[in-house]
Amino acid sequence: MVILQTCLSECVPQYVALMDFKSLNGEQMSANSVAECQTACDNRPECVGYDFVSPDGCWLRVNLANAVMDAPSSEGVTHYRLVWNCAGTHL
């Protein structure tokens, strides 16, 4: 997979979406949309991704040590994995 970072005056973290997939051990957040959930993740330097399912909400994955990324599939849940952060790091 190749992620291209476009030249923007403001950094925009890049995520890849995995449909019907969830990771385990997340921190539940109050978020009503994918955009709110992503903003919560973007504002936490240790966040490596998040899961979102409506209407249940948002779960942040706050570090690789506690984010079990190979959890079984889960219909209706979308996992968003951070692949490029604003520090210029590919994850």
Higher pLDDT, 91 or 60: 60
Per DSSP, helices labelled H in the chain are 34-42
24: helix, coil or strand?
strand
Whether omega before 55 lies within 30 degrees of 0, making that bond cis, reads yes
The per-residue pLDDT for range 11-20, each reduced to its tens digit, is: 778 898 988 8
Instruction: Please answer whether residues 59 and 67 qualify as being in contact, where contact means their C-beta atoms are separated by less than 8 angstroms.
Output: no
Report whether 53 contacts 19 (CB < 8 A).
Answer: no
Q: Which domains occur in the chain, in start order?
A: 14-84 (3.50.4.10)
pLDDT in tens, 33-76: 999 999 999 888 888 899 998 877 899 988 665 555 555 667 88
Please state the pTM of the whole predicted model: 0.73
Q: How confident is the model at residue 89 (pLDDT cuts 50, 70, 90)?
A: low
**39 three-state secondary structure:** helix
